[in-house]
Amino acid sequence: MFTLKVDNEIELQLFQQHHAVKLYQMVEENREHLREWLPWVDSMNSPYQFESIIPIWLNQFAENSGFNVGIVYKGELVGSISLQQVDWHNRMTSIGYYLSKKAEGHGIMTRSVQFLLNYAFFQLGLNRVEIRCGIKNKKSRAIPERLGFIKEGVIREGEQLYGRFHDLFIYSMLARDWNKRVPYLT
């Protein structure tokens, strides 16, 4: 199984079929918390839905076009992070993430994104990583801002959430910029 060890507390595990129930339980326990910024939460009503999505994620991984992994903190699934739609020609990708309410405040997402940046730039040889966040989603925006991403602009009405459009900030990190920051982050 594809597993990345972030540190002594965090592992990133490629979702497999046996994760479907735990993933559903995590979403169910955090439904109100996640619903505010994730448009798919209301449509997830059964672990069987994750059983049908996980093979799509595994295929994406097999095709080397990105991956969706679980964030496991001290042995417990607490969230998800992904490299979405790797564009090999332009050597770029975007990172998406979410975390359970009880796991917030421990630096889990910051460490996970930092690790994925190292992986994207040093292992995969990518040149650009983007993160898009709802303008009003302060917790999500804090991650790229803390890690020194450049806020490039606003994508007006870039995402629809429950029948209403909202604006997104787009952040980017380039390999050359990350190389300058790495010694200060470790």
107-150 confidence digits (pLDDT tens): 999 999 999 999 999 999 999 999 999 999 999 999 999 999 99
Query: How confident is the model at residue 42, as a pLDDT?
Result: 85
- Cα 47 to chain centroid distance, Å, stands at 20
Query: How confident is the model at residue 38, as a pLDDT?
Result: 87
Query: How confident is the model at residue 41, as a pLDDT?
Result: 86
Query: How confident is the model at residue 161, as a pLDDT?
Result: 87
Report residue 182 as tokens. Answer: 């790495």
Rg of the Cα atoms in the chain: 16
Report residue 168 as tokens. Answer: 């997104």
Would the pLDDT of 40 be above 80? yes
| CATH class label, 3-185 | alpha beta
DSSP one-letter code for 22: H
Would the pLDDT of 181 be above 90? no
Query: How confident is the model at residue 182, as a pLDDT?
Result: 67
Distance, CA of 108 to CA of 164 (rounded, Å): 30
Report residue 91 as tokens. Answer: 């050597």
